[in-house]
Structure 1
Amino acid sequence: MMLTILAIDDSRTIREMLRETLRNAGFDVHVAVDGLDGLEKLHDIAPDVIITDINMPRLDGFGVIEAVRAGTSHAALPILVLTTESAPDLKERARKSGATGWIVKPFDDAKLVSAIKRIAAH
């Protein structure tokens, strides 16, 4: 079964790297430029996993996590935070908001793919 991934990041470079890495791993990849764009696309593509940055314009990653968790249709969707941030308090806040996992940029392709497969299996 091909997994569908929604990757939300305001960096074009990161979006392209994610698209390339995840497509090569056999995933169906959709990208969004910020949190609001991601939430708009969420209903159209019904992803198996969301990957989101934390620091973005319009709506940050915490806003994305909270909005997804507050909804009914995608409340249990695995959400992976992909960010340059590594502060323990931010990780804790993300976990409390409902993030499934946390990966620090720059990401290792193999680790990212294995993390996605691991959380999507639940």
Structure 2
Amino acid sequence: MARSNGSRPRLLILDSARSRKLFETVLGDSYELLFAIEGEEALQLISEKDPDLILLNHTVSATDGVAIAKQIREAGASLAPILLLINQDRPTLRKLAETIGCNGFITKPIDPKKLTEKVEGMLNSPKVATP
């Protein structure tokens, strides 16, 4: 899926610096990747770069990924789908994340094939409305 101007879809990834190589290897040829390590940095990039998909690690920064997703949705900062990267598949975490506007989940360690499939699927889904 290309952006309306023909460029590659833009993904914002909030995760640790050591995870960056995985995302670059798996997604770098098909997508424009933007990286953030802290929540405030991610929010700034959202306002400046308007990503097509946001990937948030649940535990990467001082503010957890669910709280950052909530800030994004409450501020109306982006209608892009949000994919939450989680360390354990916990139903209570999923329910909370869905309630505040996350659109999907992927469990770490990340399987490259599943990541690619999930990203492609989410990019082909319509933009979301804020809750």
Fold shared per TM-score above 0.5: yes
**Aligned residue pair count:** 119
Task: Report deviation, 1:111.
Answer: 1.3
Q: Can you list the C-alpha shifts for 1:12-40, whole angstroms capped at 9, x where unaligned?
A: 2212211221103x110010002121111
Contact 2:46 2:77 in 1 (8 A): no
Q: Give the structure-2-normalised TM-score.
A: 0.84
Contact 1:34 1:60 in 2 (8 A): no
Contact 1:54 1:81 in 2 (8 A): yes
Q: Can you list the C-alpha shifts for 1:40-69, whole angstroms capped at 9, x where unaligned?
A: 111111100000011133321012111111
Q: How far apart, in 2, do the equivalents of 1:89 and 1:39 lie?
A: 25
Match of 2:91 in 1: 88
SS of residue in 1 equivalent to 2:33: strand
Higher-Rg structure is: 2
Percent of aligned pairs with the same amino acid:
24
Q: Give the structure-1-normalised TM-score.
A: 0.89
The residue identity in structure 2 corresponding to 1:62 is: V
Q: How does 1:31-110 map to 2 (within 5 A)?
A: 31-74=35-78, 76-110=79-113
CA RMSD of aligned residues (A): 1.3
Q: How far apart, in 1, do the equivalents of 2:51 and 2:61 lie?
A: 22
